[in-house]
């Protein structure tokens, strides 16, 4: 089997780059065809990348946290049982150290800067320097494991730099990581190496080697023999450059004695935060509410859901009802199915309805049900089930998260009575059904008298862009929507 390059996949027409979030396999691992190899992230969606062939993962070319263009090689697969390039010998405990990447690729230099013939000599020289450094240090560095006893993960690139520079595992553990989940990145290691010799002088300690220059990194300034010595204790380590910049931009509010846990936002939460803030900055948000008696709808679903699942293979949830009921009110109120560009209003003639899908506690995605106005309840149920399943299993394509003209977020499915949702830009409105609950309400009896009855009630929230939609239009839309929801009955045909 020839070596097969794994490349950064194209995840949609508008997606030109991706970020490696996590490698699911390590160098030397056997992989099956279509087995998940790594997880990547774009500015639209996270996704798992399957292996194109069965075999052995020979090389990892892009470390976690790095962003590369679509089509860039990110790994190499070889024949099953093939030895990874430059395999490191096993450590004293029998643990095989992961294969370091070629020197040119690992440290940011352009591939091809040195000739292939010169590479072995360079590696031999680097290895000699690393061995000398390990001898000089009080604690030999030794092979760096993929994960330490505390569960900290070290990428092949970080391990390679650490072993070249003679860094011990204890030193790596003392570095505060700025990567995903607090992982130590190449920049963190390079920042540590630049300041490694800045601890107070210890005459009894042997001098540590000066850090070398890697790729575009500038070499550390020359230090006196007294300054170049053993690394500082973990508590004295300077922050990484990313952390220092963050501390400068946002002063810490922590005070002595407080119990504080610092949790970094993951990529999805950062994207959601940016999108929500931009929406608030863009649209003048107003929210209106309506109360709807959905007793007939509930009874219709209860009467048909078992037969529907047996016949169609998917569950009949409330979301398809909420989508179907919105189409006619949207036709009559076109400004709610529009977007704003400067002083122009773009009214959309198709009804592409976004549905918010919660991903546990990690966040949410809004896949789009396309051409919802041309589908019946059965078609909508299939579409909703498919999109929700693929959103939760990270199998959505970025294009399936774009092009929505109106959004429905069913906060009632999570138990909320009502909400004030933020508009999904560049749309102009978002609808939010709350939880359906039984309540005593006053209704008109058969003889026209008022009676108290137990009914299934729901609050509906509509957030809209007040730049083009006024309260009267919002109230009119909600009245039409209420009429549609209340029109369902047990004997309504299930198309």
Under DSSP, the state recorded for 412 is: G
Per-residue CA distances from 98 to 66, 75, 101, 139, 154 (Å): 19, 14, 9, 21, 10
Domain stops at, among 142, 173, 193? 193
CATH number at residue 180: 2.40.50.100
454: in domain: yes
Establish whether 275 is a catalytic residue.
no
466: in domain: yes
Name the catalytic one among 285, 304, 456, 466. Answer: 466
Domain count, the chain: 2
Residue-level pLDDT at 256: 57
Kindly give the confidence (pLDDT) of every residue in the chain, 495 residues in length, as a single tens digit, with 9 standing for 90 and above: 678 889 888 766 556 788 888 899 998 888 888 888 898 887 667 788 888 888 899 889 998 888 888 888 999 998 776 666 654 343 334 333 343 443 333 344 333 334 333 444 444 444 444 444 444 443 445 678 876 777 677 776 777 788 888 888 888 888 888 765 677 887 888 888 888 766 444 444 445 445 554 443 434 444 433 433 444 444 444 444 444 444 444 545 555 568 999 988 887 888 889 999 999 999 999 999 999 999 999 999 999 999 999 999 999 999 999 999 999 999 999 999 999 999 999 999 999 999 999 988 778 899 999 999 999 999 999 999 999 999 998 888 888 999 999 999 999 998 999 999 999 999 999 999 999 999 999 999 888 899 999 999 999 999 999 999 999 999 999 999 999 999 999 999 987
Residue-level pLDDT at 254: 53
Residue-level pLDDT at 14: 59
Cβ neighbours for 97, distance < 8 A, ≥ 6 positions apart: 88, 89, 90, 91, 143, 144, 145, 159, 163
352: in domain: yes
Shared domain check, 178 and 61: yes
Residue-level pLDDT at 282: 95
Shared domain check, 306 and 161: no
249: in domain: no
What is the strand order of the sheet 55-60 is part of? 4-7, 73-78, 55-60, 30-31
Structural tokens at position 220: 């550390």
Residue-level pLDDT at 231: 42
Name the catalytic one among 34, 350, 389, 470. Answer: 470
Whether the Cβ atoms of residue 464 and residue 474 lie closer than 8 Å to each other: yes
Element (H, E) at 59: strand 55-60
Shared domain check, 178 and 85: yes
Residue-level pLDDT at 297: 97
406: in domain: yes
Shared domain check, 283 and 153: no
Residue 6 three-state SS = strand
Establish whether 466 is a catalytic residue.
yes
Per-residue CA distances from 315 to 50, 306, 494 (Å): 29, 8, 14
List the domain range (segments joined by +) for residue 347: 270-486
Shared domain check, 291 and 180: no
474: in domain: yes
Residue 118 three-state SS = helix
């Amino acid at each position: 089997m020839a070596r097969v390059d794994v490349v950064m996949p194209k995840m949609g027409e508008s997606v030109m780059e991706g970020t490696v979030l996590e490698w699911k396999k390590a160098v030397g691992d056997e992989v099956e065809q279509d087995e998940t190899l790594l997880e990547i992230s774009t500015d639209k969606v996270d996704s798992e990348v399957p292996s194109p062939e069965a075999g052995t993962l020979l090389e990892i070319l892009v470390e976690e946290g790095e962003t590369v263009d679509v089509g860039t090689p990110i790994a190499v697969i070889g024949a099953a049982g093939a030895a990874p390039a430059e395999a490191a010998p096993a450590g004293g405990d029998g643990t095989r150290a992961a294969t370091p990447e070629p020197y040119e690729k690992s440290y940011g230099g352009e591939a091809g800067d040195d000739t292939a013939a010169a590479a072995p000599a360079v590696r031999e020289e680097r290895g000699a320097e690393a061995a000398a450094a390990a001898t000089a240090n009080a604690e030999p560095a030794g092979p760096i494991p993929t994960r330490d006893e505390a569960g900290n993960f070290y990428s092949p690139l970080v391990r390679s730099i650490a072993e070249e520079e003679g860094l011990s595992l204890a030193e790596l553990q003392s570095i505060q990581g700025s990567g995903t989940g607090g992982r130590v990145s190449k920049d963190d290691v390079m920042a540590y190496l630049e300041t490694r010799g800045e601890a107070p002088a210890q005459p009894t300690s042997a001098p540590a080697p000066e850090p070398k220059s890697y790729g575009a990194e500038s070499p550390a300034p020359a230090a006196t023999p007294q300054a170049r010595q053993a690394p500082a204790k973990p508590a004295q380590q300077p922050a990484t450059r990313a952390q220092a910049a963050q501390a400068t931009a946002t002063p810490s509010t922590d005070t002595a004695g407080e119990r504080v846990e610092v949790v970094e936002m993951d990529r999805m939460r950062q994207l959601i935060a940016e999108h929500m803030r931009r929406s608030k900055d863009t649209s003048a948000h107003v929210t209106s509410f309506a109360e709807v008696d959905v007793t007939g709808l509930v009874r219709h679903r209860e009467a048909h859901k078992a037969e529907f699942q047996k016949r169609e293979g998917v569950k009949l949830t409330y979301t398809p009802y909420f989508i179907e009921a919105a189409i006619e009110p949207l036709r009559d109120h076109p400004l709610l199915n529009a977007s704003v560009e400067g002083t122009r209003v773009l009214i959309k003639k198709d009804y592409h309805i976004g549905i918010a899908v919660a991903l546990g506690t990690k966040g949410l995605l809004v896949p789009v049900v396309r051409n919802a106005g041309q589908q019946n309840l059965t078609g909508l149920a299939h579409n909703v089930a498919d999109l929700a399943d693929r959103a939760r299993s990270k199998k959505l394509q970025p294009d399936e998260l774009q092009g929505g003209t109106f959004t429905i977020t069913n906060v009632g499915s999570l138990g909320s009575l009502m909400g004030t949702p933020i508009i999904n830009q560049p749309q102009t409105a978002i609808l939010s059904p709350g939880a359906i609950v039984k309540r005593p309400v006053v209704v008109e009896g058969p003889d026209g008298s008022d009676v108290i009855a137990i009914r299934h009630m729901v609050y509906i929230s509509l957030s809209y862009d007040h730049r083009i939609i006024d309260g009267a239009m919002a109230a009119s839309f909600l009245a039409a929507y209420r009429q549609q929801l209340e029109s369902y009955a047990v004997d309504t045909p299930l198309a």
